[in-house]
Structure 1
Amino acid sequence: MASNNESGVDLLESLRNPDNKRLEEKVKQLREREEAHNAKAAQRLKDLIASNSTLPVTISSIRLIGQGSQHTRRSFLDRLFNPILSANRDAPYTLSEALQEAGSAADKLRRFEIYHDVSMFIDKPSPTDPSSTPSDINIFLSARERGRINLKTGTDIGNVEGSAYGNLLWRNIFGGAESLSLNASKGTRTRSSYQAVFDTPIASDPDKRLTIDALASATSKPRASHEEVLKGAGLKYSWAAKGGSRHQVSYSGAWRQITNLATGASPTVRNDAGDSVKSSISHTWTSDHRDNPLLPSRGYLLKTVSEIAGWGPLRGDVGFWKSEIETNAAVPVPIPGIKGDSGVSFSTGLRAGMLYPLPVGFSGAPLPSRVNDRFQLGGPTDIRGFNIGGLGPRDGNDGVGGDVYAAFSSNLLFPFPRVGKDTPLRLQLFANGGRLLALKDKGGNTSQSVYSTVAGLADGLPSLAAGVGVVYAHPIARFELNFSLPLVVRKGEDARKGLQFGVGINFL
């Protein structure tokens, strides 16, 4: 007590004395003492829990308190909390088990993203409560609600793209962590885009979600001499599996138009111009074990996407099976003389895809693919050193896409000089390449055509480029500014030598 009083007297004297340096030192000392006291108190609590970890306890109640907690409905919280109440369990808890279960419930509450902070503390019931027992504990979750309505506007600048956007997000609409997002944007390449997305968890589980969305957009595609207008809607259900992987099954229906053809549009683009209707179901599986999805230094990613359109009861006027696989792996690179993590890492990625023509309905001949369904390859987020859609089949000046592709990339990343390894800024050396092919005509035999085209991926060297650049991993997106040098370019492909700027969340 004496030391605390002396510190208070010293602080008052410092306030009277205009010696700012002395005042700062005293404040710093008080803060250090307070932090040390809090650390000791936390450690004593941990020791107390550890020494009583096998003590039998009963979770009699769980309560959510804090600013905005009244906006979350009781039935939603009951599904989350009731399973861990002792009254609903056959086996008794130990103190350690009770805290673990309550911590798991708190973590689920955080993942709904409707609260800023969720902290947990325990208390004993009132001694005057006749129904309480010595082993009863009450658990309180203190939370501060995020803003329920968030409006954001701004501008984006990317590779050959500039846009202005507005976004309205409404959280916790009905008190069950539902959200509605309304997005609108206008730009130089995406002429206009309007999207509405409603998302809700299923059975108060943040890992099971149902999403309904609607979209209307008009996108200029000058490298294929047309504009695509799209109107559609979809339904998605996603869930988490054991091991950390995720699944998503979705249905989408879309009306597409290839319109506003340029004067020099190729016969391929003109043949596909007009309306088409796509009705499809798809499945996405993702297993991401990287330490950072935008700037990984260790771990791996596996991802598959499969889509079937038009076949059987799906109808529409396009039919195909489209499948893609993506892998990515990163490892830290040790540097002699540097202990621990050097900040240098090596990553490599591979993507491949195939579009297999199918008949529409239950019978008939398979339909050839259309420009707006084929794969496009090239650009600052996949094959650097080539323009967007710069690889693969061409008709005149138009990049018309392909049905089979494979692409790869290798990147060596270094901490930026005098900045350090703990920042999201890196220098990179890269080499990447790939091939994109159209199905070969095999007299109407689709299987032979697909097999022959896949085999053709290994026919000769792929298109290649290498370079050096700067990478900045912002929490929202990754930014790259690279100097690229094309090394292998096939006739007609649209290579790009020099500086190239890219913004995205998925890079090869």
Structure 2
Amino acid sequence: MGTVHAKEPERANSMPDRQSDTEKEILLEKIPVKVCRIVVDGLGRTKNDIIVNEVQPIFEASNFQDMVRISHDVKNRFERLGLFKNISISIDTCKDVKKVGYEVTFGVHELRPVSGGINTLIGYNDASLLFGLRLPNLFGRGERVQADYTHGTKQSRGYHLNFSKPLNGNPDMVFGGSVYQNHGEYPWSGYKETDRGVAFDITFPTVFGSHSIKWEGVWRDLRALSRTTSFAVREQSGHSIKSSVQHLFVRDKRDDPILPSKGSLLKLTQEYAGLGGNVQFAKQDVEYQFNQSLAWDTVLQVSLAGGLLKSLDPKHEVKVNDRFFLGGPLTLRGFSLKGVGPHSDGNALGADAYWLAALHLYTPLPFRPGKGGFGELFRTHFFINAGNIGNISLNSDIRENFCHMAETFRWAYGGGIVLRMGRVARMELNYVIPMQAQRGDSINAGLQFGIGLSFL
């Protein structure tokens, strides 16, 4: 996929001072080809129809460059569909004298029908052990069944059974269904909760980004965590049934999800609860991130987020387990986890609106130790973050509500070290100086450690 340089060999009787080399350029896109045969070697339980559908575009290649490029794309799609591993590609002329052209051969190894393992999961300053059992390519068209059991360090545990299937052989268009039970403790709000639910979702791409539509039905049991749990949380205890539809839109143009050097992220989430059950609300959430490379391998990052929640039942307020929370070592740094906003007897109650903004300057480690290797997993960063959370009454002056949210904000600044943990999580150790807080906030000044999947 480019240019091939061929050098004519030096003649034996040529004198050194009269030596001449001729260089020829062979443009691969100028070489016409005809694909006469495609072979997929190593098939077992994978169905023929999905293989034929995936390799068909190779027959349409009109030149050598297209043939190689499309073959590589097919290899990637095989892997993303979860059909094979260790795929090799070889291209040769057809050995059949009756056919003239090229033969493309894929050497494949199907995934084992059953696999499992033990892994570590990372949450909001929490770690869990995950015991998983996987059945990849279950029916031969990329279907996948996964059963998991998780046990966390903070009394969290759960069971999860998930089925997913690519639609029309497209790895970006997936239908899924799941059944689960989760139990967790939330000490910042003084309650524990057990959820038992079922969910169905479909994910599909568009020219603007990826969309996901999900229906979830869940039976929730909320209980006081201890005798010190505030009455404001205790009175929300009991059973509730939530039936909701969620829509998630993601447009991610970043070159890396954890430590990007360029690109932007836009994430929009809408949830409507009230399709049955006794929980009724509408929830909107938005997140935006922009990254710009500067001189000396530094990166400027701007992050914004905000959300709004409204009860659809005037007789009942939204419960604490559906509200927004703010504060933590990866969001509003300088404050304790969920430590900002309305509280009652030390328990965070959450709120129905929030906004958050952060400005980061990422730089390589001083003196670049481990450059090009282990040292590339680390970055130093300097930041300023600000935000606010509160309850907004849509029946009163909306402008007054938003002015209050803008005037009583919290903010802090600091610096520290960021460690990339694969492409899914990050760890931060920062020294933070809170500059403005409100009554009832839980401040965490000085050294602050955080580890998790999401950050701002």
Separation in structure 1 between the aligned mates of residue 358 and residue 200 of structure 2, nearest angstrom: 33
- Residue 223 of structure 1 aligns to a residue whose secondary structure is coil
Shift of the alpha carbon at 1:267?
2.7
Give identity over the alignment, percent. Answer: 27
Separation in structure 1 between the aligned mates of residue 228 and residue 392 of structure 2, nearest angstrom: 25
Corresponding residue number in structure 1 for 2:443? 495
Higher relative strand content:
2
Matched, 1:435 2:388: yes
- Residue 219 of structure 1 aligns to a residue whose secondary structure is strand
Paired amino acid for 1:425: F
Residue 206 to residue 506, structure 1, CA distance change in 2 (3 Å): same
Higher relative helix content:
1
Corresponding residue number in structure 1 for 2:143? 178
Matched residue count: 434
- Residue 224 of structure 1 aligns to a residue whose secondary structure is coil
Corresponding residue number in structure 2 for 1:203? 168
Separation in structure 1 between the aligned mates of residue 440 and residue 217 of structure 2, nearest angstrom: 34
Separation in structure 2 between the aligned mates of residue 167 and residue 283 of structure 1, nearest angstrom: 28
Separation in structure 1 between the aligned mates of residue 428 and residue 286 of structure 2, nearest angstrom: 24
Paired amino acid for 1:436: I
- Residue 235 of structure 2 aligns to a residue whose secondary structure is helix
Report which stretch shifted further, 148-157 or 427-436.
148-157
Paired amino acid for 2:240: S
Shift of the alpha carbon at 1:155?
4.8
Asked if the contact 1:55–1:94 (Cα under 8 Å) also holds between the matched residues in 2, the reply is yes
- Aligned runs of 1:1-400 on 2, under 5 Å? 50-51=26-27, 53-66=29-42, 69-82=43-56, 84-86=58-60, 93-129=62-98, 132=99, 134=100, 136-155=101-120, 161-242=126-207, 245-310=209-274, 314-334=275-295, 342-359=296-313, 365=314, 367-400=316-349
Matched, 1:414 2:363: yes
Asked if the contact 1:179–1:198 (Cα under 8 Å) also holds between the matched residues in 2, the reply is yes
- Residue 55 of structure 2 aligns to a residue whose secondary structure is helix
Paired amino acid for 2:301: S
The normalised TM-score by structure 1 is 0.79
Asked if the contact 1:196–1:215 (Cα under 8 Å) also holds between the matched residues in 2, the reply is yes
Asked if the contact 1:190–1:217 (Cα under 8 Å) also holds between the matched residues in 2, the reply is no
Asked if the contact 2:145–2:161 (Cα under 8 Å) also holds between the matched residues in 1, the reply is yes
Report which stretch shifted further, 97-106 or 156-165.
156-165
- Which whole-Å deviations, capped at 9, do the CAs of 1:445-467 have from their partners, x for residues lacking one? x454766544432133x111222
The normalised TM-score by structure 2 is 0.87
Which entry has the higher C-alpha Rg, 1 or 2? 1
Separation in structure 2 between the aligned mates of residue 192 and residue 450 of structure 1, nearest angstrom: 41
Moved over 6 A (4+): none
- Residue 268 of structure 1 aligns to a residue whose secondary structure is helix
* Unaligned runs of at least 5 residues, structure 2: 8-22
Separation in structure 2 between the aligned mates of residue 425 and residue 55 of structure 1, nearest angstrom: 46
- Which whole-Å deviations, capped at 9, do the CAs of 1:120-173 have from their partners, x for residues lacking one? 3322323333xx2x3x33222233444544322245676653433322222222
Corresponding residue number in structure 2 for 1:466? 413
Report which stretch shifted further, 317-326 or 152-161.
152-161
Separation in structure 2 between the aligned mates of residue 158 and residue 288 of structure 1, nearest angstrom: 22
- Which whole-Å deviations, capped at 9, do the CAs of 1:271-325 have from their partners, x for residues lacking one? 2110111111111111111111100111111110111110xxx121111111111
Separation in structure 1 between the aligned mates of residue 352 and residue 285 of structure 2, nearest angstrom: 11
Corresponding residue number in structure 1 for 2:12? none
Shift of the alpha carbon at 1:110?
2.8
